[in-house]
Amino acid sequence: MKSLQLIRDTLAKFDEELPPPASKTQIDRLVKRSQKSLGAPPPEGYLDFLRQVDGLDFNGLMIYASSQLPDTEPDVPGFVEINLERFRGDLTGFERTLVFGEDSQQFYALNLDSAVYRAETWPGTVLKEFKTFSELLDYATKDL
């Protein structure tokens, strides 16, 4: 993912690094928890992202981690936890959507019925659609 390399290069200028990747065990647990709790496994593109970096909080963009990691800074929510609590709990209309991340103006999701990735504003206006998670991530990071 070219966007991750750009972030990696920017962080290196400040002697910082991306978080480590999720382990195979963490990813296996995530797939099982997502299927059970959200009715669908995370798509392979998002899992590929997690194999490179387990969550991201960079310049206002947050991409959720494989699970909520206690006592970590920054506090990046876990994918299943935030989808259950926020998007399936506090908000309506997300029953067939998986949300991967957000920034101050939009969130990044997959509509399970159409299999289309979307950048949406609150409360759900679609800004742009994508075929892959990688395209969605490139869009989310284009102004960072």
Q: What is the pLDDT of residues 29-74, one digit of tens each?
A: 999 999 999 999 999 999 999 999 999 999 999 999 999 866 555 5
The answer to the question of residue 110 being in a domain is no
Give 81-102 pLDDT, tens digit per residue: 999 887 776 655 667 789 999 9
Amino acid present at 95: E
Domain region containing 28: 2-96+132-140
The total domain count for the chain is 1
The answer to the question of residue 117 being in a domain is no
Burial of 99 (0-12, 13-18, 19+ CB in 10 A): buried
Mean pLDDT of 119-124: 77
The residues pairing with 78 across neighbouring beta strands, listed in sequence order, are 65
The answer to the question of residue 9 being in a domain is yes
Please report the pLDDT score of residue 123 as a whole number.
61
The answer to the question of residue 103 being in a domain is no
Taking the complete model, does pTM exceed 0.85, yes or no? yes
Q: pLDDT confidence of 125, banded at 50, 70, 90? A: confident
Find out whether 76 and 62 touch, Cβ atoms under 8 Å.
yes
Please report the pLDDT score of residue 78 as a whole number.
94
The answer to the question of residue 78 being in a domain is yes
Tell which residue, 135, 76, 72, has the closest CA to residue 108: 135
Mean pLDDT of 14-28: 94
Find out whether 17 and 9 touch, Cβ atoms under 8 Å.
no
Q: Cβ of 27: how many Cβ atoms within 10 Å?
A: 19
The answer to the question of residue 21 being in a domain is yes
